Structure 1
């Protein structure tokens, strides 16, 4: 089946109760059924299959006494792996998997049934499990004397994939950001090149299953009734959509920045907003009426409304979502059952936002609805402010709480969730705003936890990640970590940096490994395995790199990264450990203006983590004066090549004229530098005293 396009292989249904055999020469699994004296049966279906991946659905029928909780155990025959599950949580030991109930489907009455689904990976052969056990009881479909039936097959269902199956098959996804959604004359207005078919094909080649194509319509729609959408622009959107469908990608299109350009005025300009909104969706629904079901519509991106309270905003969004639903469904064709994606207010997962969208979805009474939220991490960590330089327990708890709420509100009740945008807000200023290792931990854990909650992720990429002409990743290490998280976990460590002072005696250095369910296997330099006991030691989760090996790695001990080691685990991406030669950073006096002030800095191999700014009385100075720790790349910015740390106008705007400010620069080695600045009438002086 590997050569088939997804649209022609929507359903490959396979049912197993005991023993499955392969139909010779056809590549079709023909299961046979055997019965024994047990109290349950399992129906296992491969609902969708593509090269390297598949969607499985499992239905459990309890033929014995009622149960209040359950676990189902089976073994994959060909090394398949579950990459994402919904309706159950899964764990594995090698090829043997255990699926445990979630809250809403824990109880199974006598003769009652429950079901769950998953996405999986496979290679070579995708054979069927031959045996299932429910709470330790072998499920072979009978409670009486063993009998046997002749081989049987189950025909594919007549309908298409459910909303839950569709959204699950979209994992992982990628955003074509800052192109068709750019505000300006055309899709190149925000600096990205014109979209090409090669770009779309190369995105698919990275392993992505879906693409979100944000579209801003404002400059391509008449500003007067009947608010017609430019035919040429519709043609261009359709061209890009077709390229994506031809690349075997699921596609999501929407109304994007119009949400804040004009739709935000809905409370005071309701008729115009509604008419413009409806004109766009009438045009889109008509144009794509017969497009395949792999095309999804999202009503509006990050809906927001000016100068209203939440209750009013919920009502306004309900009006837009309901109108969207009515327009699309009313055009018939494939739009009658197309999966429609509805956002929460601001597309976030605060409980009130989730509850309001739940009310809308309940009122629509439509099984082909998905919800969407966005997540850019715990805000102080995401932008590196208030001292949140590390992926700590608080940052992790914020992520878990966010996804738990979305899961409990929607997924647990059969409504799929697309995290339509995700990443770190700091990327908008500089991709180095969050230190590389801490960034990797965030991306690793987010991919893992989204899989646990059955959420589909679509990475926000406005051009900062995947090069749109060279078709390479600007940060391959980050992509490798993300890609690993699609199917498994990766081991990490307490740090990815080992700082060794340039002068002085070299000592052993220890760091803590975070195996994340994996097993540490080796410490490598390039392709060479270092020698345990000689070059390094392992004690529990403590990895110690020996002084003798560090000395050889440091070589001439000039400043900077001298070697990159890799901690290799039993699965997932390796963890890089950079060995760095450094000394105490130093700074020099300087003068300038609030529009152009930079501190001459000799970094000496070190890197800046954060900066504190305080007045003489200890109160915070500068912007965001609720914290002394300023925002990286906004209030201060290092330039390692130029040897400067700049303090832009954004910092000085909130500094008291004539008052000395004490700056404390914190470096990743643990070193600090104290520096003093004073601004008077737009002129700035800086010194070490």
Structure 2
């Protein structure tokens, strides 16, 4: 029997983590031919609830003759909406919701139960449905039903988040669904050589409690073990370090998290030498996992183990690497399972090569799943977006079709490779590589928000669980506050609903001269536009703005009022509001084309005097006299923001970095600076050895 067959015949969705359950027991009659006995009961349970969202499980038990193909219909009494479902396809028409069988669970034998679950959104209250109908016939709870629905009503659940029972062993899909959304304690236990080495404070239970209160249901604990164990042959883990890891695991479980623990930077520190040092690497790998499985064998089933972070192998082809990773993953599963206790059925997470979602990587891991034939496994990949956008190189400044198609293609491949075969998927890390509070401006904020909104939506509709990588760039751990509240708000909204956006979050007007109307294109994303607001004041449709199709026009009179005395920079912020999700902020900015001046310096220190005049830098081109790209990444004229050049708005300079000059030939180079207002400024540098001069002509 194949793994796919085992998963499809054994799946039963159980309780998922969360707060108090609202349970509705009712009977539902099966629509069959006149001679067939029909009847069933439905158990509807809200097992987790938080402000604006909830998780529910539905169990349908067939009391009559066997059926093949089912459709369950109900109406939410409080206007709730299903945002993500598993083990069923869920659609809605008005307030009526229909759940139909998946391809692998259409049959329900007599006295058998089929189960599915979903995440939903709510406002006001979250009362349970009062009736169900299966295949068009209302419920009675007995064989031989009637057409009048009857059901008892359960109490609604207060919006609290507290630990509950875990899914039963074998419900890998339900476990992974319950882990959504997740958060990484990045650059901490994985930092080298110790927990605070990369700038983050010591982890506290208060921090974990705060993250949990923000709606996160799982926490990934990346741990680097390389510097914390003894020599061969025992590779004994340092007791102090193991106890510290165990403490954070225990704190996290106490807060109600699912916890994912791994071997992290070990992947490139020593596991990557496996091709040429198979005996020693495997011995070390076995020793670490043997000790870890012994340490955690009796921990809650909400502890999840991940074999290796971003596995990679030196001097190996892809095919060779697939074989090597297969060996390590299989050995990992063997060690954990044979250790007994809760490890016998614990959810184990296996990565692709490089934790990458290219098709070859997915196919290779699927072969491993087929061989292991273990129903308590999940796959993991990482996602940092289309690389030019993720780091701002090659002109990748906007969330455009390249970025979106890369996102959709990646998630489609993962869904087709694993989810559609009954293997759950965890996007164990995701973000953009160069979004960082220490490097402001690399990724424009509005473009980043569009990316966040899209990732949340496309993961949700494909039943992918996401764990955002946070190395301190999102949550300020010292102050327990989000560095950008709007970014977190978009994270949170995307878990349950879509948000509207626009072609830009900036509108520029000139410092002097006539102000004209400005247009933006609305990206409705399935929402409806509700209007514009400044603070608590609604702007007037027809006077302050007009909407034609997806085109939003801000009138000249409204812009004149909003910019006031036209001081350089942001003069006002307004919000476009939509029927769901978070509002879209639009900054109204006064600017003039930036100006620059001549300068001299060296390849180790060269700053271009720049008066930004209210504008912001988007990117920089560099070309030789013949038009070919100059400097590093010579396949594109657009250089990497911050790595090769960096604006300093306080000092009124743009710094050209040593990394840029290291790959620039002597002679004249034309630089073109692109600004977010649309302004472009041309500047010329001449390099002679280590000496550099710059001019505007």
- Common topology (TM > 0.5): yes
Per the TM alignment, residue 537 of structure 1 is displaced from its structure 2 partner at its CA by 1.3
Bigger drift between 535-544 and 577-586 goes to 535-544
Q: Structure 1 residue 651 and structure 2 residue 645: aligned?
A: no
Indicate the SS of the match to 1:97.
Answer: strand
Instruction: Give 1:233's aligned residue.
Output: 241
Q: Structure 1 residue 557 and structure 2 residue 555: aligned?
A: no
CA contact (8 A) 1:73 1:99 kept: yes
Instruction: Give 2:49's aligned residue.
Output: 51
Instruction: Give 1:33's aligned residue.
Output: 27
Q: Separation in 2 of the partners of 1:161 and 1:127?
A: 27
CA contact (8 A) 1:600 1:645 kept: yes
CA contact (8 A) 1:337 1:368 kept: yes
Per the TM alignment, residue 474 of structure 1 is displaced from its structure 2 partner at its CA by 0.5
Per the TM alignment, residue 29 of structure 1 is displaced from its structure 2 partner at its CA by 3.7
CA contact (8 A) 1:42 1:58 kept: no
Q: 1:603-642, aligned counterparts within 5 Å? A: 603-642=612-651
Aligned length: 660
User: 5+ unaligned residues in a row in structure 1: which ranges?
Assistant: 1-9, 14-25
Per the TM alignment, residue 529 of structure 1 is displaced from its structure 2 partner at its CA by 0.8
- Summarize the Cα distance change of 1:133–1:512 in structure 2 as closer, same or farther, 3 Å threshold: farther
Q: Separation in 2 of the partners of 1:576 and 1:379?
A: 26
Q: Structure 1 residue 200 and structure 2 residue 208: aligned?
A: yes
1:278 to 282, 286, 291: 286
Q: Structure 1 residue 179 and structure 2 residue 199: aligned?
A: no
CA contact (8 A) 1:34 1:148 kept: no
Q: Structure 1 residue 290 and structure 2 residue 291: aligned?
A: no
Q: Separation in 1 of the partners of 2:422 and 2:482?
A: 35
CA contact (8 A) 2:183 2:467 kept: yes
Instruction: Give 1:679's aligned residue.
Output: 687
CA contact (8 A) 1:677 1:685 kept: yes
Q: Separation in 1 of the partners of 2:515 and 2:46?
A: 57
2:324 to 309, 316, 322: 316
1:529 to 538, 543, 562: 538
Bigger drift between 338-347 and 634-643 goes to 634-643
Q: Separation in 2 of the partners of 1:687 and 1:449?
A: 47
Per the TM alignment, residue 240 of structure 1 is displaced from its structure 2 partner at its CA by 0.4
2:488 to 479, 483, 505: 479
CA contact (8 A) 1:119 1:169 kept: no
Per the TM alignment, residue 532 of structure 1 is displaced from its structure 2 partner at its CA by 1.1
Q: 1:138-217, aligned counterparts within 5 Å? A: 146=146, 159-160=168-169, 162-184=171-193, 186-217=194-225
Q: Separation in 2 of the partners of 1:560 and 1:165?
A: 49
CA contact (8 A) 1:582 1:604 kept: yes
Instruction: Give 2:158's aligned residue.
Output: none
CA deviation string 1:571-608 (max 9, x = no partner): 10100010000001111111111111111111111111
Per the TM alignment, residue 191 of structure 1 is displaced from its structure 2 partner at its CA by 1.0
CA deviation string 1:38-69 (max 9, x = no partner): 568776544661233223246597979977xx
Per the TM alignment, residue 159 of structure 1 is displaced from its structure 2 partner at its CA by 4.0
Q: Structure 1 residue 512 and structure 2 residue 521: aligned?
A: yes
1:349 to 330, 346, 357: 357
- Summarize the Cα distance change of 1:670–1:591 in structure 2 as closer, same or farther, 3 Å threshold: same
CA contact (8 A) 2:568 2:614 kept: yes
- Summarize the Cα distance change of 1:97–1:220 in structure 2 as closer, same or farther, 3 Å threshold: same
Q: Structure 1 residue 491 and structure 2 residue 500: aligned?
A: yes
Per the TM alignment, residue 223 of structure 1 is displaced from its structure 2 partner at its CA by 3.0
CA contact (8 A) 1:525 1:566 kept: yes
CA contact (8 A) 1:12 1:46 kept: no
Q: Separation in 1 of the partners of 2:240 and 2:108?
A: 58
Per the TM alignment, residue 139 of structure 1 is displaced from its structure 2 partner at its CA by 7.7
Q: Separation in 2 of the partners of 1:365 and 1:578?
A: 54
TM-score for the superposition, normalised by structure 1: 0.90
Q: Separation in 2 of the partners of 1:403 and 1:288?
A: 32
Instruction: Give 2:129's aligned residue.
Output: 128
Indicate the SS of the match to 1:641.
Answer: coil
Q: Separation in 1 of the partners of 2:105 and 2:415?
A: 16
CA contact (8 A) 1:620 1:626 kept: yes
CA contact (8 A) 2:473 2:483 kept: yes
Q: Separation in 1 of the partners of 2:397 and 2:99?
A: 36
- Summarize the Cα distance change of 1:316–1:285 in structure 2 as closer, same or farther, 3 Å threshold: same
Q: Structure 1 residue 432 and structure 2 residue 441: aligned?
A: yes
CA contact (8 A) 2:29 2:134 kept: no
Q: Separation in 2 of the partners of 1:358 and 1:317?
A: 12
Bigger drift between 555-564 and 76-85 goes to 76-85
Per the TM alignment, residue 37 of structure 1 is displaced from its structure 2 partner at its CA by 5.5
- Summarize the Cα distance change of 1:59–1:412 in structure 2 as closer, same or farther, 3 Å threshold: farther
CA contact (8 A) 2:21 2:45 kept: no
Indicate the SS of the match to 2:519.
Answer: strand
CA contact (8 A) 1:264 1:304 kept: yes
1:601 to 598, 610, 617: 610
Instruction: Give 1:250's aligned residue.
Output: 258
